[in-house]
Amino acid sequence: MPALRAEKICKSFKRLFQEKKVLFDISLSIERGEIFGILGPNGAGKTTLMSIFSTLIRPDGGSLEVLGRDALRDTHAIRERINISSGNPNFPWSLTVRENLRHSAMLYGLSGRSLHRSVEEAISAFELGPQSDAKFETLSTGQKQRVSLAKSILNRPQILFLDEPTSGLDPEMAMKTRDLIKKIYQEEEITVVLTTHYMPEAEELCDRIAFLREGRLVALGTPGELKRALQIGHRIFVEYDGEVDPLKLRIIPGVMEVKELSGRVEMVFDHSGRAVSSIIKAFEGADILDIGIEEPDLEDVFLELAR
């Protein structure tokens, strides 16, 4: 049984007699114990989709199953077992960090010792000790983000939804947060669904990625599959001295694109193997000064898909 199964989810928002469709027939399935990424440009519908998955809002159509339950009917039971940290999070301003976490834990029905333990564990997991008695309104953006992350683990969720979990965090805290996501994911075997605009993060964390553009699911797969499907090849550049026959470059096996600059050639190769020896042969008669190979990354996938 998958952790989440969505079938033809659609959503539109009405505002002043105008209807705007923001999600079109999204179908996907997220396996238990997977870290699943939802990527896409601003306004693609990621937050809306996360809000639907976490039962905060209802879709207009389609069906949704979360942890084996009908998420359009059995919302209450699902909310007990999931949690979400939203991007740009807010909490009651005049409550301190600890009070806010206690309040949230109570909303999840925690009490007594287990409430105390959950709150203190969450505070230490996200290093909020020094701020624990500070009012929420006095925190920095990154500290607020950490409160939201801390809140999201209070009820030991089976699915954790994280909307831009590292936005606003400094590089060190962002790294720690990624490590923590990996850690709770490994120890608790929970399913994590996250969005991010930071591609290395998605590449590092996500088993599979769904790519949204203008409310439509345009690609779905592992980072490797996405790169292959999009034929995003390796970039190889050669710096040289002398004369090179441009025709020879275009017949190197596997070459997809050739860009000539003065004293430098940039080529894109597919995955049929790196033809380094054929490249060197094509440069016969010239002096090769430098060769570099750049692996394609998700950034390339993103830019390609967002076009």
Partner 1 sequence: MSWQGELHKVLSATYKNWIISKRNAFTLFELVFWPFIGLLSIGLLTRFLELGDDMVAFVLVGAIALSILQISQIDVAYILLFDLWSKSIKQTFVAPVRGYHLVLGAMLFGVIRGVAVFIVLAAASSHLFGFDFLAGGVATVIVFLAGTFLTAASIGMVVCISILLFGQRADVAAWTLSGIMMLVSGVYYPVSILPGPLQILSKSIPLTYLLEYYRSAYGYGDHQILLGIALALLYFMASLLILNLAIERARRTGMMLRLSE
Ligand X SMILES: Nc1ncnc2c1ncn2[C@@H]1O[C@H](COP(=O)(O)OP(=O)(O)OP(=O)(O)O)[C@@H](O)[C@H]1O
Q: Which residues bind partner 1 (CB under 8 A)?
A: 11, 13-14, 47-48, 51, 54-58, 60, 76-77, 79-80, 83-84, 86, 89-95, 99, 102-104, 106-112, 115, 136-137, 151
String marking each residue 29-68 x if it binds ligand X according to CB under 6 A: -----------x-xxxxxxx--------------------
Run of H or E including 249: helix 246-250
Q: Which is nearer to ligand X, 21 or 183 (CB)?
A: 21
Judged by CB under 6 A, the residue of 22, 56, 220, 306 near ligand X is 22
Q: Which is nearer to partner 1, 163 or 300 (CB)?
A: 163
Closest contact distance (angstroms) between CB of 60 and ligand X is 13
Q: Which is nearer to partner 1, 112 or 171 (CB)?
A: 112
Q: Is 152 buried (19+), middle (13-18) or exposed (0-12) by CB count in 10 A?
A: buried
Q: Which is nearer to partner 1, 40 or 59 (CB)?
A: 59
Closest contact distance (angstroms) between CB of 301 and Mg ion is 19
Taking CB within 5 to 8 Å according to partner kind, which of partner 1, Mg ion, ligand X, none is near residue 40?
ligand X
Helix (H, G, I), strand (E, B) or coil at 33: coil
- For position 47 contacting Mg ion by CB under 5 A, the verdict is yes
Closest contact distance (angstroms) between CB of 181 and partner 1 is 19
Specify whether the CB–CB gap between 254 and 270 falls below 8 A.
yes
Specify whether the CB–CB gap between 12 and 22 falls below 8 A.
yes
Q: Which residues contact 154 (CB under 8 A, 6 or more apart)?
A: 83, 101, 104, 105, 108, 110, 118, 119, 122
Helix (H, G, I), strand (E, B) or coil at 199: helix
Closest contact distance (angstroms) between CB of 155 and partner 1 is 8
Closest contact distance (angstroms) between CB of 81 and partner 1 is 9
Q: Which is nearer to partner 1, 19 or 241 (CB)?
A: 19
Closest contact distance (angstroms) between CB of 86 and partner 1 is 6
Q: 169-176 — which CB contacts under 8 Å span 24+ positions?
A: 169/142, 169/145, 170/142, 173/127, 173/142, 173/146, 174/198, 174/201, 176/127
Count of chain residues binding Mg ion (CB under 5 A): 2
User: Angle between the 141-152 and 112-125 helix axes, to the nearest 10 degrees?
Assistant: 140
Q: Which residues contact 142 (CB under 8 A, 6 or more apart)?
A: 168, 169, 170, 173
Taking CB within 5 to 8 Å according to partner kind, which of Mg ion, ligand X, partner 1, none is near residue 76?
partner 1
Closest contact distance (angstroms) between CB of 13 and ligand X is 3
13: β partners: 20
Each residue of 261-276: b (16+ CB within 10 Å) or e?
eeeebebbbeeeeebe
Binding site for ligand X (CB under 6 A): 13, 15, 20, 22, 40, 42-48
Binding site for Mg ion (CB under 5 A): 46-47
